[in-house]
Amino acid sequence: MKELLQKSWPKNLSKTLTYRLGERPLHEYLKQNAADTPNNTAYSFYGRQLSWRVLDESVDRFAQFLIAQGVKKGDRVALFMQNCPQYLIAHYGIQRIGGIVVPLNPMYKESELEYLINEAEIKAVVAGQELQPLVAVARPKTPTVEFVVTTNYADYLPAEPALTLPAELKLEKQVFQDSYDFVQVLQENQPYTSHVEIDIWNDVGLMVFTSGTTGRPKAAMLPFGSALFKTAATIHSNQFAMDGRFLTIAPLCHIAGMVMGVNIPIYTGAECVLLTRFDPAVTVDAIEKYKITNWYSIAPMNVAILNLPGIENRDLSSLQRNSSTSFGIPVTEQLANKWKDLTKGCIMHEASYGLSETHTCDTFMPVDNIKWGSCGIPTYDTDLEILDFETGELVGPGEKGEIVIKNPGVFKGYLNRPDATAETLRDGWVHTGDIGSVDEDGYLYFHGRIKEMIKSSGYSVFPEDVEALLNEHPGILQSAVIGVPDPIRGESVKAFIVLKPDYAGNITEEGMVQWAKEKMAAYKYPRFVEFIDQLPATSSGKVLRRLLKEPQGKEVKQ
């Protein structure tokens, strides 16, 4: 298998991963950037530019504040914010004293927040102003939380923003009696001058919540070295220019957004333009104004930009690379060619495969040999195997099975969950619960989750496969399928479809079923079709099929 996986490794790319500044935690890369290029811009936030010197000093001031509050190595501090400079300052301030960053999605509600804080035994929370009331309500039920820091995102805006602001950046500043104010914290504390020794391959620096293969969210423990390894592997395998300019819109609380927005700029020393959320017009303005060279997106973002009125008159020619994830809308050669034409040459391709337990980015796409529909080939120092669902034996090229992965980035286990850890992490191998296959050239193909696999008339039906076939219909914007009980087949396929505006009302559910029947095998085509306005998805755009199992509205069965 190793020989097969290395078969398509780019000829001009070294097979040995060399770290730019050696095996050091990324917060030390940040300090070195501040020493080498103190006045260069590290991050730009709607026109506010933070230099490496200012960013590093702010990190030290926040670290000193945490020390004063009794935070020590190994303590967990949660970040409950939208994308903003404060997130970056807090993230590296926590890690600089050996603390553990615990990202929490700002979309969480009270009961979710309460569960996650207690699960990770959080000592402190850094929250966006609009989220502070949720934290306040949860605090009586979260006894490990000793203090809260609140921030107004607008504190890091320039007097005259260079880009149109989203609503959360227009909130009037509030000061809460039961929490510290972020800006005041930085003003009142001197920079941290001590040093905490970090064993980067064993000391945990990050805990990310994931459901793993089963059950409620669990805290996956990732050592400092996971972030260094995956960031370096992503940069070098994709051959990104160290002096490029990155655009980050993906949520920093999500592992992919973290790699792109929190880690890569620090590792490279390159400038990052940070936006709180995706808006197609604002994104185009940012690319044009800041001459962005690299962007990580999800495919619906690219489609939204392509459909903007007058987009053909805008200049997006600075873009060189755009890795994009197929969430709801696939990254196809047709879409990539449209994007290349619009940007006058930008290479667009499917982003890497990965999961929280491996700090994501386990594969990369060789740009000189793109395979559409695949996730590329395994990255540096990565062993990847496809195992038979029943026997656990290796399967051959093209055969489907469970994806298992081993590399220096894998997690150390789930916090306080030894049984779940033993199920997922075996002899250093992460058993992903994902269905995949590897072709004769070593390219990985993702076919969905084992738990989402549909058993119909004895056949295995992979949701991603049916969705790809459905999306060939000219009227379909997005689709997602699930299995529903069937007394004869065991399960039948049900499709949820978002139609393109021009097709809404002009095509029936019955007609869609008939079209699918002509395009797919009898056991595979959807017997149920339901048109909906929007697919349920995470903040990163990943479709949540489990939510589709709840009643939605009208459906048609044939």
Predicted local confidence at residue 475, as pLDDT: 94
pLDDT category of residue 486 using cuts at 50, 70 and 90: confident
Predicted local confidence at residue 458, as pLDDT: 67
Report how far apart, in Å, the C-alpha atoms of 41 and of each of 183, 273, 274 are.
Answer: 20, 10, 12
Count of CB atoms within 10 A of residue 450's CB?
18
The full DSSP string for 441-501 is TS-EEEEEEGGG-EEETTEEE-HHHHHHHHTTSTTEEEEEEEEEEETTTEEEEEEEEEEPG
Q: Averaged over 178-190, what is the pLDDT?
A: 97
Q: How far apart are the first and last CA of the chain?
A: 44
**CA 246: distance to chain centroid?**
15
Rank 209-223, 499-513, 527-541 by mean pLDDT and report only the highest: 499-513
Is pLDDT at 6 greater than 80 in this prediction?
A: no
**Three-state DSSP state, 219:** strand
Is pLDDT at 526 greater than 90 in this prediction?
A: yes
Closest CA to 346 of 297, 300, 280, 278: 297
The full DSSP string for 131-192 is GHHHHHHHGGG-TT--EEEEE-GGGGS-SS-SSPPPGGGSPPP---TTSEEHHHHHHHSPPP
Per-residue pLDDT of 319-358, as tens digits, reads 999 999 987 688 999 999 999 999 999 999 999 999 999 9
Counting every residue written for the chain, the total comes to 558
Q: Which residue has the tokens 């150390």?
A: 412
Q: Which residue has the tokens 């804080």?
A: 117
Q: Which residue has the tokens 């990310």?
A: 208
- Say what the pTM is: 0.84
pLDDT category of residue 167 using cuts at 50, 70 and 90: very high
Per-residue pLDDT of 41-76, as tens digits, reads 999 999 999 999 999 999 999 999 999 999 999 999
Average pLDDT, the chain: 92
Predicted local confidence at residue 50, as pLDDT: 98
Report how far apart, in Å, the C-alpha atoms of 449 and of each of 41, 299, 400 are.
Answer: 41, 20, 12
pLDDT category of residue 213 using cuts at 50, 70 and 90: very low
Is pLDDT at 191 greater than 80 in this prediction?
A: yes
Predicted local confidence at residue 351, as pLDDT: 93
Burial call 214-252: b when 16+ CB within 10 Å, e when fewer: eeebbbbbbbbbbbbbbbbbbbbbbebeeebbbbbbbbb
Per-residue pLDDT of 369-411, as tens digits, reads 999 999 999 999 999 999 998 899 999 999 999 999 999 999 9
Residues 6+ apart with CB under 8 A from 180: 65, 147, 148, 149, 150
Per-residue pLDDT of 280-306, as tens digits, reads 999 999 999 999 999 999 998 999 999
Per-residue pLDDT of 408-454, as tens digits, reads 999 999 999 999 999 999 999 999 989 999 999 999 999 887 878 78
Predicted local confidence at residue 111, as pLDDT: 83
Report how far apart, in Å, the C-alpha atoms of 62 and of each of 67, 158, 188 are.
Answer: 9, 21, 10
Is pLDDT at 534 greater than 50 in this prediction?
A: yes
Predicted local confidence at residue 1, as pLDDT: 62
| φ/ψ of residue 399, rounded to 5 | -85, 145
Domains in the chain, start-ordered, CATH in brackets? Answer: 3-7+374-449 (2.30.38.10), 26-37+44-197 (3.40.50.980), 462-557 (3.30.300.30)
346: exposed, middle or buried (Cβ count in 10 Å: 0-12, 13-18, 19+): buried
